[in-house]
Amino acid sequence: MIMLLANFLVAASATMVLPFLSLYIDTFGEFSHEYVQRWSGLVFGITFLTAFFISPLWGRVGDRFGYKPILLITGYGIAASIFMMGFMDSVLGLFLLRMVMGAVTGFIPTSMALISAQTPKEEAGRTLGTLQMGTVSGGLFGPVIGGLLADSVGFSYTFIFTSIAITGAATLVLLGINEQRNTEQTAKRNKYSSKEVLHHLFSHKLLVTVLLLSFLIQVANFSIQPLLALYVDELTSSQNLAFLAGIAFSATGLGNLLSTRWWGQLGDEIGYEKVLSILLVLASIFIFPQALAVELWQLVLFRFLFGIAIGGMIPCVTAYIRQESPLSMQGEVLGYTQSFRFLGNVVGPAFGGIVSGYIGISSVFYVTGALFLGAFGLLWWSIRHSDTMSHVKDY
């Protein structure tokens, strides 16, 4: 329960500042519209790009010394960087602070590794699905809370309040979490080199596939998000465009929130790779009709159904890693998984922008659906190939 609440606070706080980053940059001086747009993209993306390189390192340190210390370092580190953003008056300074934030962005994946290590394999999907509810709900309400705070108290105080919330989350971990570690596990933590971890990854085709799926899922999910307000504008003539775009955006998060624990539990019962296959097909089925929407309610409905489909993907990926990787290297393996997710966060918006620029916004839904189908094909091939290799070994 403590980690669920902590993940909610971190996820909400991390997304609080995203809606007004471009507006905040605009307050630094008299800049052209193109300048603000360019730097908004750079400031947004640098956090994920930095995290892409650093996440495996945090995972490895967590495997060796325990996950709780990493939760405290990353929690207080994120809080400090966001606090200083509230006093920034230059674009370059904000860019550097967002880079620092990326370097210490490891709280949520480390929390998944911590809970995974404390959970029996047969219950991992349900438990990680429950934990994911905190992350999803935080991401769902964070932008709304951030927007309300920015309108009420201004940008600087919003950064300060955000940092206070993350400090609270880290303090909850400090006072309320007691990491269980035994002597045998501690001894094993020192036996795996990074080369051995990579060898373990690449010798298990399904694990490599899971890494690629983590990337493709984020690319597909993030490719449409920056364009959603523009697409909503095409479907309605209402003046409350930002509010309606928020509803369309939140519909996915709501579906995700309602389904994530159930999908994880189903994975415990029938196998995580099977559930992941089902989810990838459902995601493609529910995203194609979004391109054909002629009214806003149709878009919102299918965004909600799409959210239900993607709600179980991350818990199933994490639970599968829990099942297939030695406990003493799970943090580093999860770090690589998170790195590929961060890379997808960077590539997705750029990919969606390029596609929409050439063939229109609605076409992004078709291309995204094709990505999910391609991911399903990759997973199906990997499962079939792994089964074949298993039969050969048994023979």
What is the distance between the alpha carbons of residues 333 and 171, in angstroms, rounded to a whole number? 26
103-119: buried (b, 16+ CB within 10 Å) or exposed (e) per residue? Answer: bbbbbbbbbbbbbbbeb
What is the distance between the alpha carbons of residues 155 and 94, in angstroms, rounded to a whole number? 13
What is the distance between the alpha carbons of residues 335 and 320, in angstroms, rounded to a whole number? 14
Read off the tokens for 131. 């934990």
Read off the tokens for 393. 């070994």
Q: Where are the domains of the chain?
A: 2-394
Its pTM stands at 0.71
* Residues near 2 by beta carbon (within 8 Å), at least 6 away in sequence: 172, 173, 176, 177
Tell me the CA distances in angstroms from 65 to 71, 188, 189, one per residue in order.
Answer: 12, 11, 8
Cα–Cα nearest to 3, from 179, 164, 177: 177
What is the distance between the alpha carbons of residues 147 and 245, in angstroms, rounded to a whole number? 13
pLDDT < 50 regions, the chain: 183-184, 186-190, 388-395
Cα–Cα nearest to 288, from 369, 353, 359: 369
* Residues near 354 by beta carbon (within 8 Å), at least 6 away in sequence: none
Tell me the CA distances in angstroms from 100 to 51, 80, 218, one per residue in order.
Answer: 9, 10, 22
Tokens 């920034």 belong to 88
**In the chain, helix, strand, coil percent, each to 5?**
85, 0, 15
Pure H helices in 30-123:
33-65, 67-85, 91-103, 107-117
Looking at every residue in the chain, the average pLDDT score rounds to 79
The DSSP 8-state label assigned to residue 1 in this structure reads -
Q: What is the pLDDT of residue 391?
A: 40
pLDDT in tens, 192-231: 666 777 777 777 777 788 888 888 888 887 787 767 767 8
Pure H helices in 177-240:
183-189, 194-202, 205-222, 228-235
Read off the tokens for 368. 């995204």
Q: What is the pLDDT of residue 182?
A: 52
Give the gyration radius of the chain's Cα atoms: 21
CATH number 1.20.1250.20 given to 2-394: yes
What is the distance between the alpha carbons of residues 262 and 129, in angstroms, rounded to a whole number? 7
Q: What is the pLDDT of residue 226?
A: 65
Q: What is the pLDDT of residue 18?
A: 64
Q: What is the pLDDT of residue 76?
A: 93
Is residue 210 within 8 Å of 317, Cβ to Cβ? yes
What is the distance between the alpha carbons of residues 345 and 45, in angstroms, rounded to a whole number? 8
Q: What is the pLDDT of residue 97?
A: 92
